[in-house]
Structure 1
Amino acid sequence: MSRAAIRYAKAILQKANENNTEAVVFGDMQSVYKTIEDSRELQAVLQSPVIKANDKKDALLKIFNGQSEATHSLINILIANKRASLLGSVAKSYVDIYNDQQGVKAATVITAVPLTPEIETKVLAKVKELTGSDKVTLKSEIDSDIIGGFILRMGDIQYNASIANQLGNLKREFSKSI
């Protein structure tokens, strides 16, 4: 995250706290981040120096017309400061800062195939045990390159129980002994 994105996120969180709308804005920021993350076209529009600022603003306000006034203000401020490309980063920073303030621990589990509800429940229980927190969010990603097993990330900790990792370890062991 850029420092500028974090500053904007902190400013909008402070304003939301003053208005007691931090939870509403949290929902908005999750939606904004997911929308931008899922749309290569929208990312291209936000990054493009060719597209006029007013056109970006109009597009963003139409896309996010159901969001709160705070989100619309953020869009207007970013456009006015020629920082439209930061919108996704600001939204992600807001989500991270808000979760941190609420004591919510975020974990990401990467698997080769989608998690079943039973496995997701077990992973969530393990993350709660490891973090000592009942407030845990679990994000699931799929990466067929890991072949099988899983990779679990919590903050700066990573536990790699993937088959690809185990095969890499075997390969290194064989290379050392030859």
Structure 2
Amino acid sequence: MLSNKNQKIIQHYARVFFEYSITNMNDNNIEFFYQKLNKVSTFLKKNTYIHTIINTDLLYTEKKIEIFKKIFYNFDALLFKFTKILILKKRESFLKEIFLEFNRIYEENRKGFVKSIVISAFPLKEETKKMIAHKLYNKKNKKKFYIINKIDKSIIGGFIFRIGYKEWNFSVQEQLLCIQKYVFQNHKYN
């Protein structure tokens, strides 16, 4: 699991990349670019050599840029330029996650589609999942949700709702931990 700081870095770069691509492309091109990013994400996920290149400290920045230019430049110049920025900022290890976050942002903003996860101690009905999503996230606009229900008996009851890197924790386990912290802090000072 990524740290909060890393999640914010990924979100920031993905959001900037998304906004730049929207302002510099028409609707047909942005859809085509989205499809390209899906291909690149799959490529990065499956190719262990690229993973090694991205995560090694043995290659200089210039050499990494040269390698990615050979891979990406003819495929898409904008994609290469963005990758070059990430390499220069020493953020290339987040490349795959940034592209996945870009795709999530695209689906949410352009298609009105939001992928979410509801974690509960037992399976929830479809109406319950939709109600949770609309109450917590969909107050202002009408988004379509794709909701995955994961079962985790350790949360005891209640639910955890996630969209991207945002999380709302209404589990019994979380409430018990809060009570335990409160009791421990008050007992310590008596």
TM-score, L = length of structure 1: 0.57
Q: What 5-or-longer segments of structure 1 have no aligned partner?
A: 62-68
Q: Could you tell me which runs of 5 or more consecutive residues in structure 2 were left unpaired when the two chains were aligned.
A: 1-8
With over 3 angstroms needed to count, the CA separation of the structure-2 counterparts of 1:101 and 1:107, relative to structure 1, is: closer
Higher normalized contact order (CA 8 Å, seq sep 6+, divided by chain length): 1
Q: Which residue of structure 2 lines up, in the alignment, with residue 104 of structure 1?
A: 112
Provide the aligned length of Structure 1 versus Structure 2. Answer: 167
Name the structure 2 match of 1:123: 129
Q: Please, what TM-score do these two structures have when normalized by structure 2?
A: 0.54
DSSP 3-state at the match of 2:28? coil
Q: Which of 5, 13, 16 does residue 7 from structure 1 map onto?
A: 16
- 1:167 alignment partner AA: L
Contact 1:146 1:165 in 2 (8 A): yes
For the Cα contact (< 8 Å) 1:146–1:162, is it kept in 2? Answer: yes
Looking at structure 2, the residues matched to 173 and 106 of structure 1 have their Cα atoms a distance apart, in angstroms, of 36
* d(CA) in 1 for partners of 2:108, 2:171: 28
% identical aligned pairs: 16
Distance 1:153 1:22, change over 3 A: same
1:27-46 equivalent positions in 2, closer than 5 A = 27-30=35-38, 32-33=40-41, 42-46=50-54
Q: SS where residue 20 of structure 1 aligns? A: helix
Counterpart Cα distance in 2 of 1:13 and 1:37: 25
> Deviation at 1:162?
2.0
Once the two structures are superposed, residues 130-166 of structure 1 have per-residue CA deviations (whole angstroms, 9 ceiling, x without a partner) of: 5142423446677776465421145897432223213
In 2, the alpha carbon distance for the partners of 1:145 and 1:39 equals: 35
CA RMSD of superposed structures (Å): 4.6
